[in-house]
């Protein structure tokens, strides 16, 4: 954390990019499972194994859709430059770095990750069934 503070002294552009990228990556990590549950709910909700607490079907779906819209909007704004006119000195490079990370992750998944990833172990004895 101290390095981020030192980075902000050295370069405002670099610190803006690092902080924006961290927040965008966190939001994307929340966005992916919520978007997946929306797809499952719209296709076949009887296949979902619910936990011990959940909202009513239409309320939960509405909250999830609002979350996806809001998070997508905030991601777009976080990747914009912080000042106008945009120059090389005040550009937000978080979008460029995010693009490289997403392309690299996709290539790594296609070439080797999908062949070797086992996934987490789920003990189905402890998961309550929907009722």
Residues in the chain: 131
Of 69, 61, 78, nearest to 26 by C-alpha is 78
Whether 34 maps to a domain, the answer reads yes
- The CA-atom distances, in angstroms, between 71 and each of 23, 62, 67, 74, 117 are 11, 14, 6, 5, 28
Whether 128 maps to a domain, the answer reads no
Whether 51 maps to a domain, the answer reads yes
CA gap 30, 37 in Å, rounded: 11
Of 79, 105, 104, 101, nearest to 92 by C-alpha is 79
* pLDDT attached to residue 50: 75
* pLDDT attached to residue 71: 96
The residue-averaged pLDDT of 22-28 equals: 92
**How many structural domains does the chain have?**
1
Whether 54 maps to a domain, the answer reads yes
* pLDDT attached to residue 121: 77
Q: What percent of the chain has pLDDT over 90?
A: 31
Whether 102 maps to a domain, the answer reads yes
Whether 129 maps to a domain, the answer reads no
* pLDDT attached to residue 81: 84
Q: How far apart are the first and last CA of the chain?
A: 46
Listed range (3-7, 64-68, 108-112) with the worst mean pLDDT: 3-7
CA dihedral 49, 52, 53, 54 (to 10 degrees): 20
* pLDDT attached to residue 125: 67
Most confident of 5-9, 10-14, 42-46: 42-46
Whether 83 maps to a domain, the answer reads yes
For the record, the structure tokens of 74 come out as 């905030």
Q: Which structural domain, as residue segments, surrounds residue 50?
A: 2-116
Whether 42 maps to a domain, the answer reads yes
**Chain position carrying tokens 């499972």:** 33
């Amino acid at each position: 954390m101290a390095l981020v503070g030192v980075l902000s002294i050295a370069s405002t552009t670099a610190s803006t990019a690092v902080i924006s990228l961290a927040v965008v990556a966190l939001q994307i990590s929340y966005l992916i499972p919520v978007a997946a549950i929306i797809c499952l709910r719209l296709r076949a909700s009887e296949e979902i194994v619910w936990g011990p607490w959940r909202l009513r079907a239409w309320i939960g779906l509405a909250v999830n859709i609002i979350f996806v819209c809001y998070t997508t909007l905030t991601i777009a704004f976080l990747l914009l430059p912080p000042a106008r006119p945009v120059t090389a000195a005040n550009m937000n490079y978080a979008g460029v770095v995010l693009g490289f990370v997403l392309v690299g992750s996709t290539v790594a998944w296609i070439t080797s990750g999908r062949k070797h990833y086992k996934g987490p172990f789920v003990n189905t004895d402890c998961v309550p069934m929907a009722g």
